[in-house]
Amino acid sequence: MSGELSPIDKAKFVSAKRAAQYVEDGMRVGLGTGSTAAWLVRCLGELVRDDGLKIKGVPTSSRTAQLARDVGIEVITLDEAKWLDLTIDGADEFDGDLNLIKGGGGALLLEKIIATASDQMVVIADVGKEVETLGAFPLPVEVIPFGWQTTQALIEETLISMDVLGRTSTLRMNGQTPFVTDEGNHILDLHLNRIGNARQLALVLNQMPGVVENGLFIDICDTVVIGYGDGKVEVRDINEGTVATERLDFVESDNLFSDLTE
């Protein structure tokens, strides 16, 4: 039950629960990937089951799609939806301008496509994801398998002229074999430590042959919902320029996530 959660899981839970309030009947909603997004899907599933909420979810990964179906959310494709009212997703890092690093879960390509096809993007995160400058979390870059080592060398050579502190990269692995995204690609994780000009870096990376997409989300996020381990939630709206705080109480008998495996 929620009363038995660790402080970081409590923070993820309250951010997800608060963000679920943005979802209204009849909406087409982008559903993110990752541990915090999984809490959001569970919260929405409860609203579907107990309150009769009717929504259509567009998942950003196959595992999110399966979880959504498991909790009773109707799943459709982006082509079927055409356009989304809202996307709610997690982030690996966010800064004061609500720019993000995403892709730790390997779904950055679909996450960016779906987020940019939405009227609004809400990010849910625990307070530990906030940084002064992006870059401590390795930046994922999705690349096609063909010639990936050449692409990697080109990226590292290009980083010499970028405003970053580190310039090494590693191929993401899944055990003894390269990690493969839902779209059949590989991921290079760039260990940059600090990104001085995220906007420039995002543009330069996406101009390289072999690069499919990068994990910098610039000017995409509208609102971030930050959860704390004590149940406090902070909501920052970049468009309105507002910051609001509230507290969500835990219900000890509420066993919403007893079977959540993430």
Q: Does 151 appear as a known binding residue?
A: no
177 assigned to a ligand binding site: no
- Is 128 within any annotated ligand binding site? no
Contact 103, 33 (CB under 8 A): no
- The reply, when asked if residue 92 is annotated as ligand binding, is yes
SS (HEC) of 59-107: ECCHHHHHHHHHCCCEECCHHHHCCECEEEECCCEECCCCCEECCCCCC
Task: Provide the 8-state DSSP code for 231.
Answer: S
Catalytic option among 24, 46, 80, 111: 111
Residue 82 marked ligand-binding = no
Q: Is 258 annotated as a binding residue?
A: no
Task: Say which amino acid occupies 225.
Answer: V
Is 129 part of any known ligand binding site?
A: yes
Active-site annotation holds for 111: yes
Beta-strand relationship, 216-217 and 168-171: unpaired
- Cα-to-chain-centroid distance, residue 260: 18
CA angle 7, 13, 18 (to 5 degrees): 130
Please indicate if the annotation marks 249 as binding a ligand: no
Question: b/e per residue, 176-200, with b = 16+ CB within 10 A?
Answer: eeeeebbeebbbbbbbbeebeebee
User: Could you give the 3-state DSSP secondary structure of residue 170?
Assistant: strand
The response to whether 237 counts as a known ligand-binding position is no
Give the closest residue to 57 by CA, choosing from 188, 254, 197, 47.
47
- Please tell me whether 33 is known to bind a ligand: yes
The answer to whether 103 is a known ligand-binding residue is yes
Annotated binding site: 33-36, 89-92, 102-105, 129
As annotated, the active-site residues are 111
Annotated binding site for substrate: 33-36, 89-92, 102-105, 129
